[in-house]
Amino acid sequence: MFEFLVTWGDLDPIGHLRTAVYTDLAIDAQFKLMDRVGYSPVGLAELGYGPVVLRQESRYYNEVRFGNTLVDTLSLAGLSVDGSRWIVRHDFVRSDGAKAAMLKVEGTWIDLQTRDAIVPPEELISANARLPRTKNFKDLRSLVRKK
């Protein structure tokens, strides 16, 4: 669970949280999760791999405005057996308890040199696997090519 304060720069011209900010917050939460297990964005790049978003689905429920606090609870909606492909669901809730939005982010891990999907280190697979699972959790097909 990650908490974010909505700032002036996060708003669109009519005073609502900009659509792109939800994506930024979701990705930030996922990087914070990786950082908790010792894999910072810089550290991942130095190791030669990183996450790539393949698809995102968004659903908006209630307005979010300046000064609101959002809590992002992450849950695992899908994972391949080898951990190379994942879907993380982000449920954003305002501090007053109103559901603000839901984002599903599907991604994979890639080798930064070859740009091919890879199996990540066990610590990253475990970090994802420890997330609570959605009711409609899916077993995903790996994107790693067999050699």
* Least confident range of 6-15, 51-60, 87-96, 115-124: 115-124
Q: Is the pLDDT of residue 19 over 90?
A: yes
- Is residue 101 domain-resident? yes
- The model carries a pTM of 0.91
- Is residue 13 domain-resident? yes
CATH assignment at residue 123: 3.10.129.10
Look at the chain and report how many structural domains it folds into.
1
Rounded-to-integer distance, Cα 33 and Cα 74, Å = 10
- Strands 85-94, 2-5: parallel, antiparallel or unpaired by DSSP? unpaired
- Is residue 145 domain-resident? no
Spatial neighbors of 8 by CB under 8 A, at least 6 apart, are 66
Q: Is the pLDDT of residue 80 over 70?
A: yes
Q: Is the pLDDT of residue 6 over 90?
A: yes
Residues spanned by the domain of 83: 2-140
